[in-house]
Structure 1
Amino acid sequence: MAEARLKKGKEKAVKQLHPWVFSGALESIKGKPVNGEVISVTDANGDFLAKGFYNSQSRVAVRLLEWKDVEIDEVWWRSRIANAVKSREGLLHSANTNVCRIAFSEADYLPGLIVDKYADYLSVQIHSSGIERVKAVLLDELEKQLQPKGIYDRSDASARAHEGLDPSSGILSGENPPEYVEVLENGIKYLINISEGQKSGFFCDQRDNRKIVASYSEGKRVLDCFSYSGGFSLNALNAGAAYVVSVDSSALAIETLARNIELNCSDRSKHQSVQADVNKQLRAFRDAGEKFDIVVLDPPKYAPSRSALDKASRAYKDLNRMGMSLLDSGGLLATFSCSGAVDINLFKQILAWAALDAGKEVQFITQFCQPEDHPVRASFPEGEYLKGLLCRIV
């Protein structure tokens, strides 16, 4: 087996079970491993530390899999999938939800693999060369564990380029999913476009947070920004909201939302869709004197890396300042960040700055996080990407 030897003093993170070894920590490579090959990692003295995927093109040179000197074979990989499925048993047997994340990359010791279950179909994203090499075994085990009608490849993210992989999409096994797959989450029906929708087709990481926001929505006017297929909008309507406005810039999102409204709501006069840039639309609402009781801000990732943090912080502050301007005393702002580089303390500080600029005083009354099928390993805090706050305007 090929071997990566670390520079002196660079073994601490590995011993603390962090799954990434950066290229700058490597002293030398013994052998000629190809990208995606499993290699051993040793300290500067040559003592064994761990095993993981090697990739010469990636900033993360080794993605660690195992901290014991055991064989990483087909049985090992199958057990990883089986463990991931078993940990989701509660969700998989839920009567009112048939959407969940089955594999969450490093959190499930499957670095570079995302698997989402949408009713009878699986949507798969492969972001690492190591997972690409064992794809056939993993797909076979997913079929054995879950018996899906079909498994669809959505490995079209830019992250693959960092691993020297080309984008990939299309059916991997079984039936091609229909244009729209009907699923159930929190008792609400959604039509999901697996092949063309954002990410893997749907954002199931907001499942619990949608219910929390909905619990405040009865009789209220709700503004759902970056609404996509209407998760927050539909939960609010289902909870008795008086009126909901959904804003998204994507024509596909607005079209999908319209289908979902038709699927769930008998009184569609309580809902309005607006296809527009959210920041421009917030300013238009402000200039028109519009007010809401609840504003939901669930933007895309503003800070893909720490180098973008300053720019992202300004964008988050401006967005939330505008959202606050549409709320009077007692109004609620449910605001989120899915940028891993923005931790909850920085996010609170950004909101404090936004409130100051908006001439508002806010209270943080609930903190949002990822659901149980998006777990965070204690040794890998980077996996905690989704955070949010429910703020009351004083």
Structure 2
Amino acid sequence: MLFITIKQGKEKAILAGDPLIYASAIDKVEGKPNEKMKPGATAVVQSSSKQFIGRAAYNSRSQIRARIWSFDEAEPVDHALIKGRVQAALARTAAAAAKAKPDQLLRRVDGDLDRLSGLIVESFGGADGYLICQFQSGGVEAWKVAIVQALMAGTGCRNVYERCDDLLRKGEGLPLVAGALAGEEPPDDVMYTDGGVKFSLDLKTGHRNRLR
């Protein structure tokens, strides 16, 4: 376990609910050297007077040094927490998913909104289609397997693909990887409708071309 001590006066934004902790707000990080170097390692965040603030995912390679998982001292960061967050995100977007047409792209998980900082998940084609995931922080990268399992269980979708945003992952010190995490890779192009306008969409990259 790591311990992050926040500089005096810098804890106000965090206590107000801001889940992002920048390098400039941190006084010191204590713990085993190998844990400090592991992107997404769980850390206890505390004030300068050693009062508990929260538990966070720590990443020494990012300017966003830590992302708060929970402000509840009784809530551990474990598989149950990750599964619950994914389930809540899917429940939040369930009504929209039920109404979505097969050629619509729908965001099912939206990072900080769903308390899964750095995770973006979009669905295309419903349960028989694809889930496109972007892991843009060390915290969600560390819990990738649990996240994918929860997504598949919650949607019934068997095809999960990881899209790579090179710039964001480089900024987090994460390897540049892309590919199928479960099932099949999406085709090179699908027909996609946004606001009544049709596009040719590459689900692997997010690139789209408007169709006449």
CA distance in 1, matches of 2:112, 2:206: 24
Moved more, 26-35 or 131-140: 26-35
Number of the residue aligned with 2:142: 133
Q: Spell out, residue by residue over 1:165-215, the C-alpha distance to the aligned partner (whole angstroms, 9 max, x if none).
A: 1211111111121222344555665442112443xxxxxxxxxxxxxxxxx
Cα distance in 2 for partners of 1:101, 1:117 equals 6
Closer, same or farther: CA 144–187 of 1 in aligned 2, 3 Å = farther
Larger Rg, first or second structure (1 or 2): 1
Shift in Å, 1:17? 0.6
Shift of the 135–64 alpha-carbon distance from structure 1 to 2, 3 Å rule, reads same
Gaps of 5+ in 2: none
Conservation of the 8 A alpha-carbon contact between 1:158 and 1:167: no
Q: In 1, distance between residues paired with 2:10 and 2:70? A: 18
In structure 2, the partner of 1:174 is 183
Residue among 84, 109, 122 paired with 1:103: 109
Indicate how the Cα distance of structure 1 residues 93 and 130 shifts in structure 2: closer, same or farther if over 3 A, else same: same
Q: 1:96 touches 1:187 (CA, 8 Å); kept in 2?
A: no
Aligned length: 203
Match of 1:18 in 2: 18
Q: Does 1:229 align with 2:209?
A: yes
Unaligned runs of 5+ in 1: 199-227, 231-256, 262-394
CA separation of 1:104 and 1:157: change in aligned 2, threshold 3 A = farther
Tell me which amino acid in the other structure corresponds to 1:67: F
Any idea what SS the aligned residue of 1:93 has?
A: helix
Residues 81-100 of structure 1 aligned to structure 2 (within 5 Å): 81-94=86-99, 96=101, 98-100=104-106
- The Cα of 1:151 is off from its aligned counterpart by 1.1
Distance in 1 between the 2:194 and 2:27 partners? 49
1:162 aligns with 2:184: no
The answer as to whether partners of 1:156 and 1:169 remain within 8 angstroms in 2 is no
Which AA in structure 2 matches 1:146? T
Q: TM-score, normalised by structure 2?
A: 0.88
Q: Which runs of 4+ in 1 moved over 6 A?
A: none
Which protein has the bigger helix share?
1
TM-score (norm. length: structure 1): 0.49
Mapping of residues 25-40 of structure 1, within 5 Å: 25-32=25-32, 33=35, 34-40=38-44
Separation in structure 2 between the aligned mates of residue 18 and residue 156 of structure 1, nearest angstrom = 24
Q: Indicate the percent of aligned positions where both proteins have the same amino acid.
A: 28
Give the partner amino acid of 1:56: S
The higher-RCO structure (CA 8 Å, 6+ apart) is 2
Residues 57-72 of structure 1: pairs in structure 2 closer than 5 A: 57-69=61-73, 70-72=75-77
Equivalent in 72, 78, 82 of residue 83 of structure 2: 78
Which amino acid in structure 1 is aligned with residue 86 of structure 2? I
- Cα displacement string for residues 305-344 of structure 1 (whole angstroms, at most 9, x for unaligned residues): xxxxxxxxxxxxxxxxxxxxxxxxxxxxxxxxxxxxxxxx
Distance 1:196 1:15 in 2: 37
Instruction: Look up the SS of the partner of 1:100 in the other structure.
Output: strand
